[in-house]
Amino acid sequence: MINFVKRQQVFSVINEIQQYQHTPYCLEKVDFIAEWLLDVQTITEDECYKLSMIIEPRGFKAPEQTSSKRKLTNLTRQNSLSFRKGSTLSPRHGSIVEAENLYASPYGELECIKTYQFYEKDSPSNIMTTKEDDEEIIQGGTLAKLVERLTHEKFPDVNYMAAFLMTYRTFTTANELLDLLINRFNMPKPKNPSKEQEKAFKTEKLIPIHFRVFNVLKDWITTYGIDFKQDTVLVQRILDFSSKVQSEHQSLSHASKSVIDAINKPLSAPKDPNSIILGAKPANNSSIEDIDTERLSEQIFSFVCGNFGNTDPREFLQALWKAPEGRFQCIHLHRLHKFSCDLEAWIKTELFTAPDVTTRASILAKFIHLADKLSKLKDQHDCFIIINTLEQLREKELRITWEWLRPRYISIWSRLQQFKDNTESVNRAPVSRSRSQTKAAPPAFIPYLIPVFDALEQTTTLPDFCGPEDLINFEKRQELYFRYLPLAQHIM
């Protein structure tokens, strides 16, 4: 009988995921609080330290400022030396396989099409692979070999396709990729096959590859529609190719129509969070003690959620959120990183500029309460920023101030620390590369991003090319994708 319980369980999981694809809270921007957050005055780390020594003398020397001089490798096409040996823009020198063997196949000798890019058999000089959990992982390859695996008749891999489409701009162009997909579709056929060979060729190779090509096109258009927004030539080429296939191949009519419909569908702009009326606060509030903690947490959450939810996956590829050029190349992550730094500086400024220990303890309690409210909004990122900042100050700068905290806030603080420890223990699980990896229902609307930023920044320093043949280092691209994948379930 049909297993309908299975279908119900699948629907339940999909339904849980879909609820996180929409804005989780309906919040309206309160201009006064939003402007106040952007205009708060902060002091430098050195000034914070000097004030902390006055507040609670400890006999420690001021820490020396250090700066990292490590140069990061930007993952860009411009830094790839015309894409080097992996690309058709830089032809490979020398034949790896003897000419007489290029056209041999189990289905008989293949036609000779001079422009066809995929005759070459797999060899260490054009593709590097490894085994992991009985699955073949692509470490590197020429561009033609990577596209061949993307449309392979025997190895469909959703994660490989997602990683390729996310990162292909780091080693080729959109038009070159389309050239290779069309070239792959127009594959050579056996010259004089027997009936059995002809039937086997169609069912085992021709039809699967044709459908793989259109699957890639459909996923490319629906996932990265921005690639086609201003490139009218690319759009027209896809329309012409799909229309031609629709008229010539009856079996691909539905697949080609779905691509045409996807390319003609207007690209929707990112949506701002929905809103409800919160009510305005008086414009004369100038201190954190005068701001309602719940409304303050909602404004922080609304700003961070709006930017994180609209982040493009490719913003994670170059680790430029700290750099000035990040304002243009990864605008949302740059805003989030700057806001996180500003939040930490603001916390220290409010605490170190308090006039006395009583006021300082009151402000400390306010930030603990703010972290608690953010945790209830499932904003782990800003909650953990506050917790980590206060943990740094607790043992030295705020040791005496902590003793003035009311028992209620000490209890909240203990609960927040336990929550943070439990979350971090879950997140320490190693990154999986299995093609069977799926997305689970997200536990938070905004996860803690700092460890992800650090891991991505480290990954971007890996070389763009690998092996003696200077193959495209696809292992690096897959590592970037799998680092991003846990965040994908939170992106709107």
* Statement: residue 311 has pLDDT above 80: yes
Work out the pLDDT band at 290, boundaries 50, 70, 90: confident
Stretch 320-340: mean pLDDT: 90
Task: Check residue 170 and give its pLDDT.
Answer: 95
Of 201 and 97, which is predicted with more confidence?
201
Whether the pLDDT of residue 492 is over 70: the answer is: no
pLDDT score for 9: 75
Per-residue pLDDT at 271 exceeds 90? no
- Average pLDDT score, the chain: 83
Instruction: Write down the pLDDT at residue 209.
Output: 97
Residue 96 pLDDT class (50, 70, 90 cuts): very low
- Largest separation between any pair of C-alpha atoms in the chain: 93
Which of 131-140, 185-194, 350-359, 441-450 is least confident? 441-450
Predicted local distance difference test score (pLDDT) of residue 77: 43
pLDDT at 67 over 70: no
Give me the pLDDT at residue 202, please. Answer: 95
Judge whether residue 210 has pLDDT over 60: yes
Task: Place 55 in a pLDDT band, splitting at 50, 70 and 90.
Answer: confident
> Which pLDDT value is given to residue 167?
97
Least confident residue range of 139-148, 180-189, 432-441, 473-482? 432-441
What average pLDDT does range 402-419 have in this prediction?
Answer: 95
* Confidence band of 95 (pLDDT split at 50, 70, 90): very low
Tell me: pLDDT of 85 over 60. no
Please give the pLDDT value at position 78.
42
152 has pLDDT over 50: yes
Residue 10: pLDDT band (50, 70, 90) is confident
Evaluate if residue 286 carries a pLDDT over 60. no
The pLDDT confidence band at residue 32, using thresholds 50, 70 and 90, is low
Q: What is the pLDDT at residue 206?
A: 96
Mean pLDDT of 365-381: 95
The pLDDT score that the predictor gives to residue 60 is 47
Which is it for the CA torsion 14, 20, 21, 25, positive or negative?
positive
Among candidates 211, 210, 457, 490, which has minimal Cα distance to 326?
Answer: 457
Q: Higher model confidence: residue 185 or residue 106?
A: 185
Q: What percent of the chain has pLDDT over 90?
A: 58
356: tokens are 């006395």
Q: Of 78-87, 238-247, 413-422, where does mean pLDDT reach its minimum?
A: 78-87
Report pLDDT for 54: 82
Tell me what pLDDT residue 316 has: 92
Residue 6 vs residues 3, 16, 227, 399, 440: alpha-carbon distances, Å: 6, 16, 37, 56, 16
* Predicted local confidence at residue 444, as pLDDT: 60
- What pLDDT, on a 0 to 100 scale, did the predictor assign at position 79? 45
Tell me the three-class secondary structure of the chain, residue by residue.
CCCHHHHHHHHHHHHHHHCCCCCCCCCCCCHHHHHHHHHCCCCCHHHHHHHHHHHCCCCCCCCCCCCCCCCCCCCCCHHHCCCHHHCCCCCCCCCCCCHHHCCCCCCCCECCCCCCCCCCCCCCCCEEEEEECCEEEEEEECHHHHHHHHCCCCCCCHHHHHHHHHHHHHCCCHHHHHHHHHHHHCCCCECCCCHHHHHHHHHHHHHHHHHHHHHHHHHHHHHCHHHHCCCHHHHHHHHHHHHHHHHHCHHHHHHHHHHHHHHHCCCCCCCCCCCCCCCCCCCCCCCHHHCCHHHHHHHHHHHHHHHHHCCCHHHHCCCCCCCCCHHHHCHHHHHHHHHHHHHHHHHHHHHHCCCCHHHHHHHHHHHHHHHHHHHHCCEHHHHHHHHHHHHHHHCCCCHHHHHCCCHHHHHHHHHHHHHHHHHHHHHCCCCCCCCCCCCCCCCCCECCCHHHHHHHHHHCCCCCEECCCCEEEHHHHHHHHHHHHHHHCCCC
All domains in the chain, ordered by first residue = 22-55+271-428 (1.10.840.10), 78-264 (1.20.870.10)
Q: What is the mean pLDDT of residues 2-17?
A: 72
Asked if residue 69 has pLDDT above 50, the reply is no
Mean predicted confidence (pLDDT) in 302-323: 90
More confident residue, 338 or 434: 338
Reported as a pLDDT band with limits 50, 70 and 90, residue 319 is: confident
User: What percentage of residues in the chain have a pLDDT greater than 70?
Assistant: 78
Residue 63 in this model has a pLDDT that exceeds 90: no
Q: Give tens-digit pLDDT for 390-408.
A: 999 998 889 999 999 999 9
- The whole-number average pLDDT for the span 360-364 is 96
The type of residue at 254 is: H
